[in-house]
Amino acid sequence: MKSPEEIEALANRIDHEELWRLPGMRRDSLTPEQRDRLDAGVYLRRYAIDRFTVLEELKKGAEYIRGYKLTRADMCTDARGCGDREWHRAINAYADDRNAFPVPTDGRARDWPRMMYAAKTIADEVPRMILLFERERTTGLPETFKMCGHDPRPAKKLPDNHLRCGLGVECRKCPYLAAIDRSEKMPPEAKDEAKAWTCATHFLLESKPDVFFESILRDKSDDAFDDRIAESFGI
């Protein structure tokens, strides 16, 4: 395994023109070869940063970070764990299999592997949930919401902001998460991850098999975002 410095040096050799410095509007004029070098350099630099973070955490004696085992130190690449793109392609190929999911003769829509898509979503959602539990525990959730820096409207206050799950339960009032908090031997970081997996499992077990979801945990800033989107459509 190469060091972060070696990976970054390789990125600099590939993108020797420093194409990553070009503004987005000028990248449309790049040749296919330049685009390949730009993308390769960007991905390699991201990997170098993540690799450096993993190595630093290993020095501290950590065993996991953001929901990933450190022994699978391929974050931000398609090789992380069971992969991402190829996992999605495998699911899509199965969904397109007319033998597994034949077209009904009565006009109904063809079935598809809902559970497999939910599994892939959970793989991305749990690391995010770990970070949300960590943020609530350390710095606290945001107290105000503003759509963006160009939004002329004043920031909306979010009093008593807190996390709640897709089942409508406030995480701070959940008995399952409270049981984890009462542990005297688990470090705070381990509790964050245990809570995330517990919350995700509870949500899946209590939901219908074909439930569609984009996220399991929300706070008041998510509600404020949805309200602004609804306003923009005049809803």
AA identity, residue 124 = D
Give the pLDDT confidence score for residue 74 in this predicted structure. Answer: 42
pLDDT at site 153: 83
Per-residue pLDDT of 5-29, as tens digits, reads 888 899 999 999 888 888 877 778 8
pTM over 0.75: no
Query: How many residues are given for the chain?
Result: 235
Q: In a structure prediction context, what are the per-residue pLDDT tens digits for the chain, which is 235 residues long?
A: 678 888 889 999 999 988 888 887 777 888 989 989 988 998 888 888 877 877 777 777 765 555 454 444 344 444 445 556 778 889 999 999 999 999 999 989 889 888 898 888 888 888 889 889 999 999 999 999 988 777 788 889 999 999 999 999 999 999 999 999 999 999 998 999 999 999 999 999 998 877 778 889 999 999 998 888 888 787 6
DSSP string over the chain: ---HHHHHHHHHHHTTT-GGGS-GGGGGGS-HHHHHHHHHHHHHHHHHHHHHHHHHHHHTT--EETTEETTS--TTSTTSTT-SHHHHHHHHHHHT-TTTSPPPTTSPPPP--HHHHHHHHHHHHHHHHHHHHHHHHTT---SEE-S-TT--SPPEE-TT---EETTS-BGGG-HHHHHHHT-SSS-HHHHHHHHHHHHHHHHHHHS-TT---S-SEE-HHHHHHHHHHHHHTT-
State pLDDT tens for residues 61-95.
765 555 454 444 344 444 445 556 778 889 999 99
pLDDT at 70: 47
